[in-house]
Amino acid sequence: MPRAGLDTNAVVVAAARLADEDGLAALSLARLASRLGVRSPSLYAHVDGLDDLRRRIGSHGARELGARLQAAAGGLARGDALAAVAEAYRAYALEHPGVYAAIQQPSEADQAGAALVELILAMLRGYGLEGDEAIHGARIVRSALHGFVALESETGFRIPLSLDETFARLIAVLDEGLAGLA
């Protein structure tokens, strides 16, 4: 019988899709294998178990998210850059909730996560932030964006009131706050 023709990348991509559809917690090797038309032990040829798979989804996602943010920020500065990056960040998390959750998992030596921070740091230079102060600023931006997005995608916000408006105000508060830090 013919082979499925899988490789590590195909497995990770399919797993990412599955995680986005049903949630990262519902991702299992058994379900992934059946979706790929393969038995679960076969996945071990491409991936070193479930933990490794989740880590790979995370770093795949971090790379993808980084590219999106990079593209969004292109050519813009200060408030415009911040707004564009924030929108792109939120959009990615909503489109890819499972992958986004996987990105958050602690994994050592993840250069993709570091690249995200670099990108934000570059943006903060537009606010006149350098050195330690820029790092504080980047952490604040990440905290705000991650918090909003995590609460939004886990139904943490229950009151029926426009989340778009809340997010716009959050960006405004960050913009002012970063200007104030400099």
Partner DNA sequence: TCGCGTTTCCTAACTAGATTAGGTATTATC
Partner DNA sequence: GATAATACCTAATCTAGTTAGGAAACGCGA
Under the binding rule (CB under 8 A), the answer on residue 6 touching a second copy is: no
Under the binding rule (CB under 8 A), the answer on residue 142 touching a second copy is: yes
- Judged by CB under 8 A, the residue of 6, 105, 115, 126 near a second copy is 105
Residue 157 binds which one of DNA, a second copy, none, with CB within 5 to 8 A depending on kind? a second copy
Task: Give the residue with the Cβ less far from a second copy, 7 or 165.
Answer: 165
Under rule CB under 7 A, which residues in 20-39 are in contact with DNA?
28-31, 33, 37-39
Residue 78 binds which one of DNA, a second copy, none, with CB within 5 to 8 A depending on kind? none
Under the binding rule (CB under 7 A), the answer on residue 9 touching DNA is: no
Under the binding rule (CB under 7 A), the answer on residue 68 touching DNA is: no
CA 35 to chain centre: 24
- Judged by CB under 8 A, the residue of 91, 111, 143, 182 near a second copy is 143
**DSSP track, the chain:** -------HHHHHHHHHHHHHHH-GGG--HHHHHHHHTS-GGGGGGTSSHHHHHHHHHHHHHHHHHHHHHHHHHTT--HHHHHHHHHHHHHHHHHH-HHHHHHHHS--TT-HHHHHHHHHHHHHHHTTT--HHHHHHHHHHHHHHHHHHHHHHHTT---S-S-HHHHHHHHHHHHHHHHHHH-
Q: Can you give the binding site for DNA, defined by CB under 7 A?
A: 1-7, 28-31, 33, 37-42, 44-46, 49-51
